Amino acid sequence: MRLLISLALILLGGFTVLAKSKEEKQAEARKKAGQTLERLYKAKPSAQAAIKAAAGYAVFNSGGAKILVAGAGRGSGIAVDNATQKVIYMKMREIQAGLGVGVKKFSTIFVFETKNALGRFINSGWEFGGQTTAAAKAGDGGGSLQGAVSVSPGVWMYQLTDKGLALELTGKGTKYFKDDDLN
């Protein structure tokens, strides 16, 4: 009986582990980004106009864990140039230090006011320093960026948790960079 159960598990395991193609991974990344934007627009309707008027945007879905004095996170997403509608596939990695325990899932949306800021993000990657916590501000665009924080000149960030718009927006030891496998 044990032999039959073991054999069944081996056979089932072999059929369920199929690698996704590059195109399937790209489609999944675009779908997740679209779902994240819909969640943002529901939580903060003015964000839709801000993103449409921007030079571009980036959407990341991430998860992380923290145990005692160390933590790490990883995620993936896309960056989009609004003028050309070109999609760049990207990755995110995060390292944290400090006391704590927990697991979290979150989404981050960046809005780039200028093509230059978008280009720097896509081509050079981007890194948040050590203990950076962005301060919440209302946007200059007539309230269209309300709920976002300014993280760099011309760059705004929204962060969503499972409960909606995050109250504290942070970027601790976080690096964003192109996904060479999907571009």
C-alpha dihedral (114, 183, 25, 73), degrees to nearest 10: -60
Q: In the prediction, which pLDDT does 154 show?
A: 85
Check if the beta carbon of residue 123 is closer than 8 Å to that of residue 180. no
Range of the domain at 134: 20-178
Q: Which residues of 168-177 are buried (b: 16+ CB within 10 A; e: fewer)?
A: ebbbbbbebb
Does residue 3 lie within any of the structural domains?
A: no
Does residue 173 lie within any of the structural domains?
A: yes
Q: How many structural domains compose the chain?
A: 1
How confident is the model over 116-165, as pLDDT tens digits? 999 999 988 766 644 333 333 333 443 445 567 777 788 888 888 766 55
Q: In the prediction, which pLDDT does 138 show?
A: 37
Does residue 147 lie within any of the structural domains?
A: yes
Gap between the Cα atoms of 57 and 155, Å rounded? 9
Q: Which residue has the higher pLDDT, 92 or 132?
A: 92
Does residue 7 lie within any of the structural domains?
A: no
Q: In the prediction, which pLDDT does 87 show?
A: 97
How confident is the model over 47-76, as pLDDT tens digits? 999 999 999 999 999 877 667 666 778 899
Dmax over CA atoms of the chain, in Å, equals 70
